[in-house]
Amino acid sequence: MVCWINPPSEFVRWTEEGFKNDEFFLICQEDEAIGCFWLQWDDEIFWAQRDEASGYAHSFTIAHHLAGQHIGKRALAMIEDCCRQQGKDYLRLDCGKHVARLCQYYEAYGFRSVGETTVQGENLTLYEKRIQSLL
């Protein structure tokens, strides 16, 4: 499993590119940051080359003390809307295979498992959800 306390240099460079490209977003409630996500329009590291117009979400997180308030579902709906507005037909994400509860969360929200990959030694399940593009 990847340890983000001392991440591999490839992940550091990859993450720095995300910040440079303005792909990271905070989820705020009132004046407090309660979560974040990273949204890309391509993702060859985790998903290889794909032809379908897709948004790729990474680093999706909501503060644990807010569990049960459906903030994660509202945030995922917001990410879907953003993808639709950009003409995307799919929202894709990945999840560590060992994080069964989070995998179940994504599946309950309508994502379906479409494969597996290993990145930097971490075994991941790939999920996608078909969304209706607005374009």
- The ranges assigned to domains in the chain are 9-130
pLDDT single digits (tens) 104-122: 999 999 999 999 999 888 8
pLDDT band at 4 (very low <50, low <70, confident <90, very high): low
User: What's residue 135's pLDDT?
Assistant: 66
pLDDT single digits (tens) 33-71: 998 899 999 999 899 988 899 999 998 889 989 988 999
Nearest to residue 41, comparing CAs of 79, 71, 13?
Answer: 79
Q: Are strands 32-40 and 54-62 parallel, antiparallel or unpaired?
A: antiparallel
In this model, does residue 5 exceed pLDDT 90? no
pTM: 0.86
Would you give the distance in Å from CA 89 to the centre of its chain? 15
What is the CATH architecture of 9-130?
3-Layer(aba) Sandwich (3.40)
Residue type, 2: V
CA distance 93 to 84: 16
Contact by Cβ (8 Å): 127, 93: yes
Structure tokens at 116: 């597996």
Q: List, in order, residues 6 or more apart from 29 with CB less than 8 Å away.
A: 66, 71
SS3 64: helix
